[in-house]
Amino acid sequence: MFQGGREADRRNRAAFNFDPEQIDFVLLTHTHIDHSGLLPRLSTWGFRGPVYATKATSDLLKVMLKDSAYIADPI
């Protein structure tokens, strides 16, 4: 994900410049939505690998992604 205004928003909505099916895994260092927010989209486009994170990050991610589903713009 890209952060920082309208250009970042445009880039986050653009098609991936890689094939998500080719990703082996995701390493999530923390749950800030600017780092984890595109995980659902990555999955929609074919990512099927594991997401590695600490237990605390994983627990919080479950809450944050569920919450963000209520406020997210369709991508």
Is 57 within the bounds of a domain? Answer: yes
Is 1 within the bounds of a domain? Answer: no
Is 51 within the bounds of a domain? Answer: yes
Is 14 within the bounds of a domain? Answer: yes
- Per the structure, the complete domain to which residue 24 belongs is given by 6-71
Is 58 within the bounds of a domain? Answer: yes
Alpha-carbon distance 1 to 9, whole Å? 9
Considering its fold, how many domains does the chain have in total? 1
Better-predicted residue by pLDDT, 9 or 44: 44
Better-predicted residue by pLDDT, 47 or 41: 47
Is 36 within the bounds of a domain? Answer: yes
Is 34 within the bounds of a domain? Answer: yes
Better-predicted residue by pLDDT, 59 or 34: 59
- Supply the Cα-derived Rg of the chain in whole angstroms: 12
Is 54 within the bounds of a domain? Answer: yes
